[in-house]
């Protein structure tokens, strides 16, 4: 990571964390390996395992379940560093450790926590979360997947779509309707064994984040033991909103990491690229573009870390998280677009990483609740 990026406000441990993660990923997942995995849409298993052996999967969990009890800001520091190296590496980490497993950590029974969280923390168990459906994306209350109680178990039937990393998950947190007539008040969460009879998974091809691609997940009368209900029946809506806030904070941190790499990569190229007898950084148009990119990067970092610090202070940060998600992901895409323009034809070639930064940035404003939804949240909390 270049000298552009300060660590003001970081603890000594957070500075060490960032350097340790960057050093580990530089060794375990070099650029040429990323290009190979991206071309094959192959999950970064070796790097994931290396992160687990180094103990990084433990950070979001309580010590009682094999974790290290890191703060929200610790988590943002970690995600930013992972995404700086490779955006999909952050996704691979977050899908299991935050987006899915936090449902168990925050709302699961003691038995579920003790059975599953230590395995997640040691890296031996991967997870995914299944919310979106063909007819219900941002409108979670409109989901149609049914969960019917049959004695000591539930039968789940329905289709989920855009389910990231379901193809490599051992278990999937599935959001389903237990009371179809109750709207958002009839939603429940279940922990589903991905190898259960009736579960089928179909990979989807994507523009970016190919190594952590989405999938269609089909559930045909899948039996789930009643003890794998996460939280209370028909009470998952509020729990889901809390988990989505954490997800959106981490999406912002991932956007910041990718954005920072975009700027460093484009700057290194521009310093060595000549046109009309001069390096292109001598042209005011290029210099101003870099200045704008730096402004966008620093703004995105500031709002993201502020939201994390508010959570650590026990404050309601839902508005600030929505702002961070919008600012970080839209600035990420804008900077990737600018970086590609600065590099010109070279940026458009697959042999340079800028095209991947560009592709990987585009999902940010869409995933985890679109930025249109985030603007609705912001406006609603303003009383309008």
Mind listing the pLDDT tens digit for each residue in 132-169? 999 887 778 789 999 999 999 999 999 999 999 999 99
Instruction: Give the Cα separation of 160 and 176 in Å (integer).
Output: 10
Residue 51, Cβ density class (10 Å: 0-12 exposed, 13-18 middle, ≥19 buried): buried
The end-to-end CA distance of the chain, in Å, is: 42
Q: Give the H or E element holding residue 222.
A: strand 215-225
Do 111 and 124 form a contact (C-beta atoms < 8 A)? no
CATH 2.40.110.10 in the chain, residues?
128-234
Other Cβ atoms within 10 Å of 115 Cβ, number: 17
Residue 303 three-state SS: helix
Ramachandran region, residue 337 (left: φ > 0; alpha: ψ -120 to 50; beta: rest): alpha
Instruction: List pLDDT tens digits, range 67-122.
Output: 999 999 999 999 999 999 999 999 999 999 999 999 999 999 999 999 999 999 99
- In the chain, CATH 1.20.140.10 covers 237-381
Q: How far apart are CA 332 and CA 338, in angstroms?
A: 10
Judge whether 167 and 139 are in contact, CB under 8 Å.
Answer: no
Spatial separation of the C-alpha atoms in residues 214 and 230, rounded to whole Å: 23
DSSP state for residue 141 in the 8-state scheme: G
CA atoms within 13 A on the CB side of 258: 37
Q: How far apart are CA 261 and CA 88, in angstroms?
A: 13
In this structure, CATH architecture of domain 128-234: Beta Barrel (2.40)
CA distance 237 to 172: 17
CATH number of 12-125: 1.10.540.10
Which pair of tokens denotes residue 289?
């573009």
Tokens 């190919």 -> residue: 210
Residues forming a β-bridge with 215: 203
Comparing C-alpha atoms, which of 201, 183, 184 is closest to residue 192? 201
Q: 301 with 256: CB under 8 angstroms?
A: yes
Match 């049914």 to its residue by tokens.
146
Main-chain dihedrals φ then ψ at residue 172, nearest 5 degrees:
-125, 130
Whole-angstrom CA distances from 311 to 71, 239, 241 are 9, 16, 15
pTM of full prediction above 0.95 = yes
Q: How far apart are alpha carbons 231 and 223 in whole angstroms?
A: 18
**Could you tell me the CATH superfamily of domain 237-381?**
Butyryl-CoA Dehydrogenase, subunit A, domain 3 (1.20.140.10)
8 A C-beta contact, residue 216 and residue 159: yes
Distances (CA, A) of 29 to 21, 89, 126, 127, 167: 11, 9, 19, 22, 21
Averages of pLDDT over runs of 10 residues in the chain (384 residues) are 86 97 98 98 98 98 97 98 98 98 97 98 98 87 93 98 98 96 93 98 98 98 98 94 95 98 98 94 97 98 98 97 98 98 96 97 96 97 96
């Amino acid at each position: 990571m270049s000298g552009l990026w300060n660590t003001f406000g970081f603890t000594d441990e957070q500075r060490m964390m960032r350097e340790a993660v960057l050093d580990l990923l530089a060794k375990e997942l070099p650029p040429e390996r990323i290009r190979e995995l991206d071309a094959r849409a192959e999950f970064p298993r070796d790097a994931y395992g290396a992160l687990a052996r180094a103990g990084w999967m433990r950070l979001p969990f309580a010590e009682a379940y094999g974790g290290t009890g890191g703060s929200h800001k610790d988590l943002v520091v970690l995600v930013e560093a992972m995404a700086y190296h490779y955006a999909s590496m952050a996704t691979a980490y977050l899908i299991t450790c935050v987006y899915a497993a936090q449902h168990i950590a925050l709302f699961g029974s003691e038995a579920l926590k003790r059975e599953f969280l230590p395995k997640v923390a040691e890296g031996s168990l991967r997870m995914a979360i299944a919310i979106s459906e063909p007819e219900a994306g941002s409108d979670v209350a409109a989901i149609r997947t049914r969960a019917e109680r049959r004695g000591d178990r539930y039968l789940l039937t329905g289709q989920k779509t855009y389910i990231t990393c379901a193809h490599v998950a051992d278990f999937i947190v599935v959001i389903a309707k237990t009371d179809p007539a109750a709207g958002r008040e009839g939603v429940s969460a279940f922990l589903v064994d991905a190898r259960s009879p009736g579960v089928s998974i179909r990979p989807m091809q994507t523009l970016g984040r190919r190594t952590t691609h989405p999938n269609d997940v089909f559930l045909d009368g899948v039996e789930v033991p009643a003890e794998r209900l996460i939280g209370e029946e028909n009470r998952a809506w509020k729990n889901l909103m809390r988990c989505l806030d954490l997800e959106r904070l981490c999406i912002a941190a991932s956007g910041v990491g990718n954005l920072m790499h975009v700027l460093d990569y484009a700057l290194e190229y521009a310093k060595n690229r000549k046109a009309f007898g001069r390096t292109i950084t001598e042209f005011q148009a290029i210099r101003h573009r870099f200045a704008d990119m730096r402004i966008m990067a620093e703004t995105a970092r500031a709002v993201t870390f502020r939201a994390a610090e508010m959570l650590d202070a026990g404050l309601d940060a839902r508005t600030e998280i929505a702002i961070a998600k919008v600012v970080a992901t839209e600035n990420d895409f804008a900077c990737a677009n600018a970086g590609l323009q600065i590099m010109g034809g070279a940026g458009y070639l697959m042999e340079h990483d800028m095209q991947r930064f560009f592709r990987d940035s585009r999902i940010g404003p869409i995933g985890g609740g679109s930025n249109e939804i985030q603007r609705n949240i912001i406006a609603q909390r303003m009383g309008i």
